[in-house]
Amino acid sequence: MTGEFLIAKRHAFFCACVYDLCPGPSSSCMTTKELQQHWGAVKHRLKPVKLLFEIPSARTIAQHLSKYVVYQIVLIRSGSYDSKRVSVERRYSDFVHLHQQLLEDFSEELEEVILPRKLLTGNFNPETIWERRLALRDYLAQLYAVHCVRHSHHFLDFFTEPEQRRAHGLLRAGQFGPAVALLETVLELQEKMGGWQSPVLLVPTLCALTVCQRDLEEPESAFTMGQRALPTVRRYGLKRYRGPLLEMMVDLGYQLGRPVAQLQEELVQVRDAERGLLSFRSLKELVVQEFT
């Protein structure tokens, strides 16, 4: 039982006792309805966070030599109010690739998880697409129910890697605005899928956003992203990011008129420790090399 739960319970008990002593409706104690609302809020905060998957739509894409269906996958975080709707699109072949990867590592755990079978005909029939949407939604839910699968990098990569690759391609091409839009989607997906438990997952995305927003001449946004990444970089000893990120933060801090003495001192210490061991690279050089 958590401390928050005990405090809430004691508060409710105190109000209930006062209610018995109050002479009439003019008392300031909590009513039964207010107590119910209070306990509902407490229970809501104590609910474990889980992911729900929806596939609300699909669309058919016809290209010169091929035709295929892409399914829109929406991730919803339960156990807390989730106001941000974030989605990705995947083909059936992407699901097949995911299943093959997972079977290599978790064949025993996935004995009862069946990927909807491939169809030889009727793939573009509206009724078939509707049935497959439901089947793929249930398939993702079954995968998520397996602890080792939902924490595997294959499962996370299924939802984020295509967008990460496109974003870094745009970044390398100097198209920072579109890159930011994709990276923000990736960041939201990573946070929904457990970034709050494994913050290291967020560092490459936060660093890429820092670079893009700096080059878009948005130093405030860039500095904010860097601030989010730096504590995790320090805590988990991510040496390849620490020096380049500190260097970027010092430059941004100067632009914004922020105090940077401590950051600068830390940067000097990091550079002295790295001397002769690592080649010095800027954060942009580091980010550009991702997903090449």
Residues 169, 281: one domain?
Answer: yes
Residues 39, 55: one domain?
Answer: no
Instruction: Find the radius of gyration of the CA atoms of the chain.
Output: 25
Q: Using alpha carbons, list the distances in angstroms from residue 111 to 101, 119, 261.
A: 14, 22, 57
Provide the mean pLDDT of the chain: 84
Query: Which is more confidently placed, 15 or 131?
Result: 131
Residues 103, 197: one domain?
Answer: no
Residues 170, 260: one domain?
Answer: yes
Number of structural domains, the chain? Answer: 3
Is the Cβ–Cβ distance between 233 and 247 less than 8 Å? no
Task: Classify residue 157: in a domain, yes or no.
Answer: no
Task: Classify residue 118: in a domain, yes or no.
Answer: yes
Burial class (CB in 10 A: 0-12, 13-18, 19+), 146: middle
* Beta-bridge partner residues of 62: 67
Task: Classify residue 245: in a domain, yes or no.
Answer: yes
Residues 142, 237: one domain?
Answer: no
CATH label of the domain that carries residue 177: 1.25.40.10
Q: How confident is the model at residue 235 (pLDDT cuts 50, 70, 90)?
A: very high
What is the residue type of 285?
E
Answer with the one of 118, 150, 182 that is the final residue of a domain: 150
Task: Classify residue 145: in a domain, yes or no.
Answer: yes
Nearest to 72 by CA among 145, 159, 141, 146: 159
Residues 131, 231: one domain?
Answer: no
Residues 137, 79: one domain?
Answer: yes
Domain of 85? 50-150
pLDDT at 149 over 70: yes
Task: Classify residue 110: in a domain, yes or no.
Answer: yes
pLDDT at 5 over 50: no
CATH label of the domain that carries residue 146: 3.30.1520.10
Residues 143, 215: one domain?
Answer: no
Task: Classify residue 116: in a domain, yes or no.
Answer: yes
Residues 178, 145: one domain?
Answer: no
| pLDDT-wise least confident of 31-40, 110-119, 131-140, 271-280 | 31-40
pLDDT at 282 over 80: yes
Residues 272, 196: one domain?
Answer: yes
Task: Extract long-range pairs of 211-215: CB within 8 Å, 24+ residues apart.
Answer: 211/171, 211/248, 211/283, 211/284, 211/287, 212/171, 212/176, 212/179, 212/180, 212/183, 213/176, 213/180, 214/248, 214/252, 215/174, 215/176, 215/284
The per-residue pLDDT for 121 is: 78
The per-residue pLDDT for 40 is: 52
Residues 268, 283: one domain?
Answer: yes
- Cβ atoms within 10 A of the Cβ of 286, count? 19
Residues 168, 246: one domain?
Answer: yes
pLDDT (average), residues 157-181: 97
Quote the pTM value: 0.80
Task: Classify residue 155: in a domain, yes or no.
Answer: no
